[in-house]
Amino acid sequence: MPVYNEEECIVEVVQAWDNELIRLGIDSVMLVLNDGSRDSTRQKIARFEGNDRIRVVNKENSGHGPTILTGYGLAVEEAEWVFQTDSDNEMSPAFFHELWERRNNFDALFGSRCAREQGMGRKLISAVSRFAVRVFFGAGVTDVNTPYRLIRAPLLKKIIAGIPFGTFAPNVIVSGAVVTLGARIYNHSVPHEGRKTGRISIVKWKLWKAAVKSFVQTLHYRFSASYRSTK
């Protein structure tokens, strides 16, 4: 769970996920990665330190993508399955069981955001991401950048080995890679609620730049030696 400036909801979100994982009887550790938050997020999540089921990682700010990759890198060395979700409380843990209960028949399971309201900038990034994955990797994942994904650790480890640390949207690349690697993929619609607290960290004028950057990085990975070695 990458976290940045979520002081208003982070305790509620972490606690809700912990409760759900306990309810499902899953032997798990939640990695909460604080990406150099400038508000009181660090102080808020300090209450979970000492909890064997929750590991707080405070790190210097590097951005959302690199923070996801940091979490993946830690998780694939310890777990059989890796689940990634965001900390903004926009996708509820109440639907996680829909993926978890089907995991034995699949390699990568995705919660596709439905009922999602987006501005034009966000729609642009989503459209560019879908286009890049479909054209250069193939179809299979309906929401290529969803922050609600459960993937077998050995498969994820193979994929992230070739993703540069500074990648803006690594989940887009992961979505494409699971398709071309022939993974068994499952998509399940999960309600997406608008942000109720905090604010989006990337401003509108940067969205166009971000969309182009994501497209170029995805294209570079697709034709890189690292990608070919995963196959």
Is a pLDDT exceeding 90 seen at residue 126? no
Q: Are 108 and 149 a contacting pair, CB within 8 Å?
A: yes
Q: Are 87 and 2 a contacting pair, CB within 8 Å?
A: yes
CATH of the domain at 90: 3.90.550.10
Residue whose pair of structure tokens reads 């990975």 in the numeric block? 221
pTM flag (> 0.85): yes
How many folded domains does the chain comprise? Answer: 1
Handedness of CA 82, 155, 106, 170 (dihedral sign): positive
Convert the pLDDT of each residue in 19-28 to its tens digit.
999 999 999 9
Query: What domain range is 171 assigned to?
Result: 2-230
Q: Are 146 and 122 a contacting pair, CB within 8 Å?
A: no
Convert the pLDDT of each residue in 45-94 to its tens digit.
999 999 999 999 999 999 999 999 999 999 999 999 999 999 999 999 99
